[in-house]
């Protein structure tokens, strides 16, 4: 540990000497960068709080980028978690169901899991139609996509329709 500390001090001493040996204009430029960086300190908290209010599920790395990496994502995480009122919550909302409703959900899930009530065992799901289609839509939005707009069906192409007849499999291309 002591050796590591001595190594860090030696690097710091070397960096200071290197900085002091820079030409005067170069030192002034780096001094201006340092002062500009320090002036941002007073607005960091406000920027972080504003970004968190805008999007409370923003990741810490994105927050660090919003303040131009003034500090790292780990520092931001520790600062946020140290604030009064900080708590984690699950975004997925679990519906408030009665015991009867939960039982009905469970029975439905069991039926679906056993191939729609066909009982235990493996069954071929040939009773389900197999269709693959590609749909092309046009969307004209107002100003930006978040304001919404009008959608228009341009084309619907059924790529493959599998039809099972007596012992044969026919593939057809259709256009709607």
β-strand 168-175 against 131-141: which pairing, if any? Answer: unpaired
pLDDT for 105: 85
Coil, strand, or helix at residue 44?
A: helix
CA distances from 105 to 44, 46, 92, 99, 117 (A): 49, 47, 18, 10, 14
Q: CB neighbours of 90 closer than 8 A, spacing ≥ 6?
A: none
β-strand 149-165 against 131-141: which pairing, if any? Answer: antiparallel
Answer yes or no: are the C-beta atoms of 124 and 141 closer than 8 Å: no
Q: What's the token pair of residue 54?
A: 């805008």
pLDDT for 138: 85
Q: What is the pLDDT along the chain (176 residues), one digit of tens a residue?
A: 666 666 878 888 888 888 889 898 998 998 998 898 888 888 899 999 999 889 888 889 999 999 988 889 999 999 988 988 887 777 666 778 889 988 988 887 777 776 655 655 555 555 556 667 778 888 888 777 777 788 888 888 776 655 444 444 444 444 44
């Amino acid at each position: 540990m002591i050796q590591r500390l001595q190594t860090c001090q030696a690097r710091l001493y070397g960096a200071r000497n290197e900085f002091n040996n820079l030409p005067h204009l170069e030192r002034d430029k780096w001094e201006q960068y340092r002062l500009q960086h320090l002036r941002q300190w007073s607005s960091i908290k406000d920027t972080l709080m504003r970004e968190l209010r805008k999007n409370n599920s923003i990741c810490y790395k994105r927050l660090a980028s919003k303040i131009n990496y003034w500090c790292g994502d780990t520092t931001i995480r520790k600062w946020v978690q140290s604030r009064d009122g900080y708590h984690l919550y699950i975004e997925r909302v679990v519906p408030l169901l009665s015991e009867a409703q939960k039982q009905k959900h469970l029975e439905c899930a069991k039926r679906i899991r056993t191939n729609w009530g066909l009982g235990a065992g493996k069954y071929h799901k040939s009773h389900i139609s197999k269709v693959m289609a590609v749909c092309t839509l046009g969307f004209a939005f107002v100003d930006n996509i978040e304001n919404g707009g009008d959608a228009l069906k341009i084309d619907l192409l059924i790529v493959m329709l599998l039809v099972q007849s007596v012992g044969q499999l026919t593939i057809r291309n259709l256009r709607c």
